[in-house]
């Protein structure tokens, strides 16, 4: 437990970009306007799976106002090269043909051509005049169907990879993973109670309110400037450069303010297309996706099929686990099966376990990360089985979790051993909470709990701080700010230097000015970029010690940086600002800098409590009360930590109760809008109570753990457990929407 | 000696042996020795001479991105696991 | 264009035929035009026409509601929302506040969605559509106005001018309820409007039940309505009416609900709306 | 809708009389953002389901993506850019900042406009009233908790200031 008293850390200053964002001044990508800018429109496939026989763009090109048309033919041929994007890697041929289809379309919404015109309406009309001849193919959107031998093949040469070994015949299964720990057969033999169930979850979308948008300006000198809504400007630069086959240094990516991402704004979709339209037209081009495009053609997160078995002894010890997981990859390989497999048993210390996981291609948009990618699906399954074991063993749901919770030294199913972690502390906080200790009364009501985990990664971050003549600081960092991270990073710099948060002027740099920084994702920004800011502050202090030594006529070793950030030595003492001003006046100007690449997962654990009431006549679930508990290590800005917990929880609630991709008979999406893709409205959720546990992370100077992702993991499971306790009906399918819950209650004879 | 865990999908090469002790100062030495012990090992986990991008090496709670040049301590525990990112 | 009289609109419609579309609140029309579900050469804004944007109520004739009167204007009016409970219920849940500021009851009717929230209430309240066209004005019962999904009884060159809703006596009450997966911002999976008139002895003297989203058009549930007449209100009676109403429901299975679930909901909502309607009649 | 001749429209935006030319098919949102440079109103869905483009039209909140530019002849419009009074923020803006009621900020302008309209009518709006009236504004980051609290706090501040 950290006990250090901080001045800035743990306080709640107003965010630095706040005034811009409440007055409408903040510039998001779609707000960008460059002289001569054209508007782009992307023509997309109406079919889920088809061969492109021909594309005729002549009529569109001839339309007044149209300046350029591009198709797959304008894209350079990229080989099957794997590009490392910092977090995860990508096959460039897949990335490129996902941006613009070449010979085949693999999902409804797949881009086939794009137009740039003086007005978006003209571009849209022109796109409608492009004649694409398709040969429609059989399609598949359910993961188990796609795994069948006779399923329509998306990629003719795709061979299943089992850790370096390729299958002999093509299929829709790019990857099979397998993990094993202990002796599973012996484990189940030891068990007194065994429960096995199948679970299904629907494809869901991150649902950020800002549609993808980009402005590209391809200069005559070959320099490409891009303004975009991205979670990672450097990753965006690399993907764009690789797809276009141009040098990295020719691309400048400027991240605009970004209207939500949650993992969905890492992959490029529009950037290469906008760049090529700009190159052809000689004018800057802006493209924004429509909301339907966002649903149909960006990257939702996998639907899944899971078969999971758990065995426990009479004393409640879970001794064996077995999981068979198949996750949608979408149209191209590379879904979230890896973390799914690694998270399935991540909360429990199970001696004997085996996991098989399959990444499966099917005719849906290529999936991408969504807050703790792959973990929510498995938590939905396992956390229900744990409750069932508890019920069979006549234990309390909390007790069985306390008994089996992972702690330092426990071995994960994929091998590594946990360092100090905070699941036990979260469960303890749950046990002590007012919510848990307040009985829930009334008919058709139930309470459920669930635990959750996400790794949280480190990766590369950079920060540079320039000292102004009055001792205030301009901080330049490279993490695109989606939720107030400028401030949580600046606060760490303020803390180390003995300044106030307001003394720091943080700025998110572009790829020409900021040091290399990986994506805003993986719960890493406050942890890793905060660490970079801290180190940049330390660098500054070292430089100031050397310079102060001259000023004070002593050696640098004689100068101490005190806890409040002041400097003392040789009988002198000055605060940071005062010393900085004196040094500036003496002709020195200072820039502190740091690059870090922490490689340790920050291991974020959480536990949630949900109270629900179920309408027995309609199957509609009302959430009466909800508490989210999480180990933040150390909360830098508690309001924004609470905000991450509350926001992630409500996304998890949406996933649990109503969100799903609904497909027509022809495998096209039937609900590509916010009307029928039902994210929670304000009226659908209660206040989300939060309890921040602070166990301190030994791998960070202030003890920070990543917090952003874990909160989405437990809600579907906590709500399923609550629904069971309210209705006696086990829901094994997401979403637990009214028609499904009502039907399940009808068919479950034990239900109330 | 570092303890190196053989990924379960590669135990077909190691005759089912789940882990081995190896004296090495970096991942490259480990991979080379494993390939000598269990021919074909390197081919399964490497691409273009480095650890395949779909994998990462876990060394004592560190998930390193340094691949072959990552340092290994005398009592380190080493795993080859899938690379993961996040949202 | 924005004409200032009904006759001007009629002549514009005569000139452009189906290529002209009338716009009141635009909350359906603009979406449909963008999605290519409807096409138009001319969009005629009818909100400059007094007759269409105003409403009046008198105790003898009841409510005359201009076709472009917005949802907000209906539910914010204390007398109207007390007298026409079902209509107030409907108008409060069509979209969010932003939609209600613009969307009109007449537009909801003309759009002729099977799931329109205002239409079952209008049918339950026995409302009549006042239609103007090249041959002058005529009226049509709202229950006959919708002819299919997105289709209405307006002939080429005609427009809906207003909706006449009969006067409400002190022992009348009405209610509308829909089932949606969320609590707002959804389209009805099923919607039911119910109206009752109580006799002095507390029995039901007259009743009208209307169903939405269970057929190609909103339906008047005639048999279910008749089954209530002369009876004392009770949960059993309402449940039995619900069963009768279910018999005329022929819903589809789609992204909003299954056939089975929708049929079941008819029973639930008939019971619930009758309960509220009777309560309102008793407490007026 | 096909392109037709541009129409001249005179309207009042944030207290200032404004003239613009627009095609009949252009929405008010497009006019505000593209013709008038008022990019504070955001496009999240372009079909009235998210509320990010909320503006006040003659005092009532509307989705500006579902209003045609030509419809606002003679109307009074208020956008997020008009909420702050000269050099100081409006209480609802202050409370959003102090209460951390925004994360990515894309939905914030719509929420502020709708919240201000609600509080002008009912500064003591209950949690239930706030949730009901602002349900047409979607936020995907915050889980709404801090937004509701900020609106409540702003109502209190407005009645205290009044």
Residue D116 belongs to domain with CATH number = 1.10.150.120
User: Quick one: pLDDT band at residue C35, thresholds 50, 70, 90?
Assistant: confident
The more confidently predicted of residues B87 and A25 is A25
Do D37 and D104 belong together in one domain?
Answer: no
Last residue of a domain, one of D44, D65, D82: D82
Three-class DSSP labels, chain C = CCCCCHHHHHHHHHHHHHHEEEECCCCCHHHHHHCCCCCCCEEEECCCCHHHHCEEEECCCEEEEECCCEHHHHHCCHHHHHHCHHHHHHHCCCCCHHHHCCCEHHHHHHHCCCCCCHHHHHHHCCCEEEEEECCEEEEEEHHHCEEECCEECCCCCCEEEEEEECCCCCCEEEEEEEECCCCCCCCCCEEEEEEEEECCCCCEEEEEEEEECCCCCCEECHHHHHCCCCCCCCHHHHHHHHHHHHHHCCCCCECCECHHHHHHHHHHHHHHHHHHHHHHHHHC
Size of interface A-D (CB pairs under 8 A): 180
Last residue of a domain, one of D82, D114, D140: D82
Q: How many CB atoms lie within 10 A of CB A103?
A: 9
Of all residues in chain A, the one with the smallest CA distance to D134 is A682
A and C: touch, per 3+ CB pairs < 8 A? yes
Q: Is A304 within 8 Å of A251 (Cβ atoms)? A: no
Helix, strand, coil share (%) of chain A residues, nearest 5 = 30, 25, 45
Do C160 and C189 belong together in one domain?
Answer: no
Instruction: Name the domain count of chain D.
Output: 2
Last residue of a domain, one of D82, D107, D142: D82
The span from the CA of A698 to the CA of A601, in Å, is 11
Domain that holds residue C271: 172-283
CATH number of the structural domain spanning residue C209: 3.30.390.50
CATH number of the structural domain spanning residue D30: 3.10.20.30
**Which chain D residues touch A258 with a CB distance below 8 Å?**
104
**Regions in chain A scoring below 50 on pLDDT:** 1-2, 751-752
Three-class DSSP labels, A141-187 = CCHHHHCCCCCCCCCCCCCCEECCEECCCCCCCCEEEEEEECCHHHH
* A522: contact with D, CB 8 A cutoff: no
* C253: contact with A, CB 8 A cutoff: no
| Average pLDDT, integer, range B39-65 | 92
For residue range C46-86, list pLDDT tens digits in order: 999 999 999 999 999 999 999 999 999 999 999 999 999 99
Last residue of a domain, one of C126, C149, C165: C165
Residue located via tokens 């007398």: C79
CB nearest to A646's CB, from D33, D49, D142: D142
Provide Rg for chain B, Cα atoms: 12
Asked if D49's CB is within 8 angstroms of A673's CB, the reply is yes
**Which chain A residues touch D143 with a CB distance below 8 Å?**
643, 646-651, 685, 688
Assess if residue B87 is contained within a domain: no
Last residue of a domain, one of C140, C165, C190: C165
Q: What pLDDT was estimated at residue D3?
A: 58
Assess if residue D52 is contained within a domain: yes
Parallel, antiparallel, or unpaired for β C55-58 and C159-165?
unpaired
Do C254 and C276 belong together in one domain?
Answer: yes
CB nearest to B8's CB, from A88, A178, A262: A178
For residue range A18-59, list pLDDT tens digits in order: 999 999 999 999 999 999 999 999 999 999 999 999 999 999
Do D140 and D96 belong together in one domain?
Answer: yes
Do D115 and D71 belong together in one domain?
Answer: no
Domain that holds residue D137: 91-161
Assess if residue D1 is contained within a domain: no
Instruction: Name the domain count of chain B.
Output: 1
Give the side-chain half-sphere CA count within 13 A for A461: 30
Assess if residue B28 is contained within a domain: yes
Q: What pLDDT was estimated at residue A749?
A: 54
Q: What pLDDT was estimated at residue C231?
A: 97
Last residue of a domain, one of C165, C183, C218: C165
Q: What is the DSSP string of B5-73?
A: EPPGGGTTTTTT--EEEE--SBHHHHHHHHHHHSTTHHHHHEETTEE-TTEEEEETTEEES-GGG-B--
Assess if residue C82 is contained within a domain: yes
Q: What pLDDT was estimated at residue D2?
A: 55
Do C209 and C134 belong together in one domain?
Answer: no
Mean pLDDT (chain D, rounded): 95
Q: What pLDDT was estimated at residue D1?
A: 53
CATH number of the structural domain spanning residue B53: 3.10.20.30
For residue range C84-110, list pLDDT tens digits in order: 999 999 999 999 999 999 999 999 999
Q: What pLDDT was estimated at residue C284?
A: 73
Assess if residue D149 is contained within a domain: yes
Assess if residue C145 is contained within a domain: yes
B36-40, C6-10, D48-52, D110-114: the lowest-pLDDT one: C6-10
How far is A90 from chain B, CA to nearest CA, in Å?
9
Assess if residue C28 is contained within a domain: no
Strand-pair partners of B57? B64, B80
Assess if residue D68 is contained within a domain: yes
Do C159 and C55 belong together in one domain?
Answer: yes
Domain annotation for chain A: domains and CATH numbers:
18-25+458-596 (3.30.365.10), 32-137+210-259+265-297 (3.90.1170.50), 304-456+601-747 (3.30.365.10)
Asked if C181's CB is within 8 angstroms of A620's CB, the reply is yes
Torsions phi, psi for A128 (to 5 deg) = -65, -20
**Which chain D residues touch A121 with a CB distance below 8 Å?**
3, 23, 25
To probe the interface with A, which of C117, C235, C256 has the most A CB atoms within 10 Å? C256
Assess if residue D2 is contained within a domain: no
The span from the CA of D18 to the CA of D74, in Å, is 10
Assess if residue B29 is contained within a domain: yes
For residue range D121-157, list pLDDT tens digits in order: 999 999 999 999 999 999 999 999 999 999 999 999 9
Three-class DSSP labels, A637-659 = CHHHHHHHHHHHHHHHHHHHHCC
Assess if residue B31 is contained within a domain: yes
Assess if residue C39 is contained within a domain: no
């Amino acid at each position: 437990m950290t006990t250090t008293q901080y001045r800035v850390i743990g306080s709640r200053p107003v965010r630095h970009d706040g005034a811009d964002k409440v007055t409408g001044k903040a510039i998001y990508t779609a707000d960008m306007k460059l002289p001569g800018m054209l508007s782009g429109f992307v023509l997309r496939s109406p079919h889920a799976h088809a061969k492109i026989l021909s594309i005729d763009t002549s009529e569109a090109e001839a339309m007044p106002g149209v300046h350029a048309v591009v198709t797959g033919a304008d894209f350079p041929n990229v080989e099957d090269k794997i590009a490392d994007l910092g977090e995860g890697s990508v096959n460039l041929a897949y990335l490129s043909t996902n941006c613009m289809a070449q010979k085949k379309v693999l999902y409804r919404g797949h881009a086939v051509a794009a137009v740039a015109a003086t007005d978006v309406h003209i571009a849209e009309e022109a796109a409608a005049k492009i004649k694409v001849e398709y040969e429609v193919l059989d399609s598949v959107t359910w993961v188990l169907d796609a795994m069948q031998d006779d399923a329509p093949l998306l990629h003719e040469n795709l061979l299943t990879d089992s850790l370096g070994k390729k299958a002999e015949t093509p299929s829709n299964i790019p990857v099979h993973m397998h993990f094993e720990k202990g002796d599973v057969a012996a484990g189940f033999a030891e068990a007194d109670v065994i429960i096995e169930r199948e679970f299904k979850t629907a494809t869901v979308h991150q649902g950020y309110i800002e549609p993808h948008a980009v402005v590209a300006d391809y200069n005559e000198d070959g320099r490409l400037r891009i303004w975009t809504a991205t979670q990672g400007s450097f990753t965006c630069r690399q993907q764009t450069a690789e797809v276009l086959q141009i040098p990295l240094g020719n691309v400048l990516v400027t991240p605009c303010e970004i209207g939500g991402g949650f993992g969905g704004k890492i992959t490029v979709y529009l950037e290469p297309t906008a760049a090529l339209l700009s190159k052809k037209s000689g004018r800057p081009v802006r493209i924004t996706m429509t909301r339907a495009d966002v649903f149909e053609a960006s990257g939702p997160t996998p639907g899944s099929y899971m078969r999971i078995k758990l065995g426990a002894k009479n004393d409640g010890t879970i001794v064996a686990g077995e999981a068979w997981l198949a996750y949608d990859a979408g149209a191209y390989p590379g879904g979230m099966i890896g973390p799914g497999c690694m998270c399935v048993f991540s909360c429990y210390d199970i001696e004997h376990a085996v996991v098989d996981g399959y990444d499966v291609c099917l005719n849906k948009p290529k999936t991408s990360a969504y807050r703790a990618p792959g973990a929510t699906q498995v938590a939905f399954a396992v956390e229900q089985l744990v409750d069932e074991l508890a019920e069979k063993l006549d234990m309390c749901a909390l007790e069985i979790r306390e008994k089996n919770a992972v702690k330092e030294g426990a071995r994960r199913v994929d091998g590594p051993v946990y360092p100090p972690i905070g699941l036990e502390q979260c469960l303890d906080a749950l046990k002590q909470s007012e919510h848990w200790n307040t009985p829930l009364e009334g008919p058709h009501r139930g309470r459920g709990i669930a635990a959750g985990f996400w790794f949280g990664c480190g990766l590369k971050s950079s920060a540079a701080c320039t000292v102004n003549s009055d001792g205030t600081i301009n901080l330049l960092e490279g993490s695109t700010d989606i939720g107030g991270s400028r401030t949580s990073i600046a606060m760490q710099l303020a803390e180390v230097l003995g300044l106030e948060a307001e003394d720091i002027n943080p700025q998110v740099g572009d790829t020409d000015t900021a040091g290399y920084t990986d994506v805003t994702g993986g719960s890493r920004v406050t942890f890793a970029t905060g660490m970079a800011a801290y180190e940049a502050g330390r660098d500054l202090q070292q430089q100031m010690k050397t310079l102060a030594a001259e000023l004070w006529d002593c050696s640098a070793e004689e100068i101490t940086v005190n806890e409040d950030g002041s400097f003392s030595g040789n009988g002198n003492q000055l605060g940071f600002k005062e010393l900085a001003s004196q040094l500036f006046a003496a002709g020195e100007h200072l820039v502190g800098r740091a690059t870090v690449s922490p490689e340790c997962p920050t291991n974020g654990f959480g536990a949630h409590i949900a109270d629900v009431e179920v309408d027995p006549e309609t199957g509609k679930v009302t959430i009466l009360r909800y508490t989210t508990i999480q180990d933040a290590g150390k909360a830098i800005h508690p309001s924004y930590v609470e905000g991450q917990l509350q926001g992630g929880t409500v996304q998890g609630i949406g996933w649990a109760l109503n969100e799903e991709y609904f497909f027509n008979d022809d495998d096209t999406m039937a609900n590509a809008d916010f009307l029928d893709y039902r994210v929670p409205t304000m009226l659908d959720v209660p206040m989300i109570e939060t309890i921040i546990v602070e166990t301190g992370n030994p791998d960070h100077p202030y003890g920070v753990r990543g917090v952003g992702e874990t909160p989405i993991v437990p809600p579907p499971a906590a709500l399923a457990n609550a629904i069971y306790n309210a209705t006696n009906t086990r829901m094994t399918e997401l979403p637990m929407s009214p028609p499904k819950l009502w039907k399940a209650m009808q068919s479950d004879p034990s239900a109330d | 000696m570092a303890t190196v865990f053989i990924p379960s999908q590669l135990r077909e090469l190691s005759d089912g042996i789940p882990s081995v002790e190896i004296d090495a100062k970096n991942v490259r030495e480990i991979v080379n020795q494993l390939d000598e012990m269990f021919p074909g090992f390197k081919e399964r986990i490497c691409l273009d001479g480095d650890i395949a991008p779909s994998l990462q090496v876990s060394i004592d709670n560190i998930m390193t991105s340094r691949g072959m040049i990552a340092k290994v301590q005398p009592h380190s525990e080493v795993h080859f696991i899938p690379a993961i990112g996040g949202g | 264009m924005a004409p200032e009289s009904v006759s001007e609109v009629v002549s514009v419609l005569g000139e452009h035929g189906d290529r002209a579309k009338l716009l009141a609140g635009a909350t359906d029309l603009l979406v449909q035009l963008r999605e290519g579900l409807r096409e138009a050469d001319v969009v005629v804004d009818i909100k400059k026409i007094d007759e269409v944007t105003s409403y009046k109520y008198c105790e003898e004739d009841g409510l005359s509601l201009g076709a472009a009167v917005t949802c907000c204007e209906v539910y914010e009016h204390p007398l109207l929302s007390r007298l026409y409970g079902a209509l107030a219920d409907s108008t409060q849940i069509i979209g969010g506040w932003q939609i209600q500021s613009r969307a009109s009851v007449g537009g909801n009717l003309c759009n002729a969605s099977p799931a329109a929230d205002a239409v079952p209430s209008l049918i339950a309240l026995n409302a009549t559509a006042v239609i103007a066209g090249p041959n002058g004005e005529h009226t049509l019962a709202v229950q006959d106005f919708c002819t299919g999904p997105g289709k209405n009884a307006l002939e080429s060159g005609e427009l809906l001018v207003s909706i006449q809703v009969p006067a409400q006596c002190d022992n009348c009450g009405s209610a509308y309820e829909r089932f949606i997966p969320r609590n707002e911002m959804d389209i009805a999976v099923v919607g039911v409007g119910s109206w009752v008139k109580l006799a002095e002895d507390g029995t039901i003297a007259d009743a009208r039940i209307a169903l939405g989203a269970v057929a190609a058009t909103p339906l008047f549930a005639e048999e279910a309505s008749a089954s209530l007449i002369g009876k004392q209100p009770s949960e059993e009676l309402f449940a039995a009416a619900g069963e009768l109403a279910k018999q005329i429901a022929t819903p589809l299975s789609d992204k909003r609900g299954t056939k089975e679930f929708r049929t079941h909901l008819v029973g639930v909502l008939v019971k619930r709306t009758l309960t509220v309607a009777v309560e309102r009649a008793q407490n007026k | 809708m096909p392109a037709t001749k541009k129409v001249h429209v005179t309207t009042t935006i944030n207290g200032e009389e404004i003239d613009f030319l627009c095609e009949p098919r252009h929405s008010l949102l497009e006019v505000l953002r593209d013709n008038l440079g008022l990019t504070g109103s955001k496009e999240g869905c372009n079909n009235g389901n998210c509320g990010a483009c909320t503006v006040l039209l003659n005092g009532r909140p509307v989705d500006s993506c579902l209003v045609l530019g030509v419809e606002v002849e003679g109307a009074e419009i208020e956008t997020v850019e008009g909420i702050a009074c000269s050099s100081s923020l409006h209480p609802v803006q202050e409370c959003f900042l102090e209460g951390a009621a925004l994360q990515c900020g894309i939905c914030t302008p719509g929420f502020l406009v709708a919240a201000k309209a609600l509080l002008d009518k009912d500064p003591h709006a209950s949690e239930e009233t706030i949730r009901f009236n602002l349900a047409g504004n979607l936020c995907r980051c915050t889980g709404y908790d801090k937004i509701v609290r900020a609106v409540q706090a702003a109502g209190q501040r407005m009645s205290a200031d009044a």
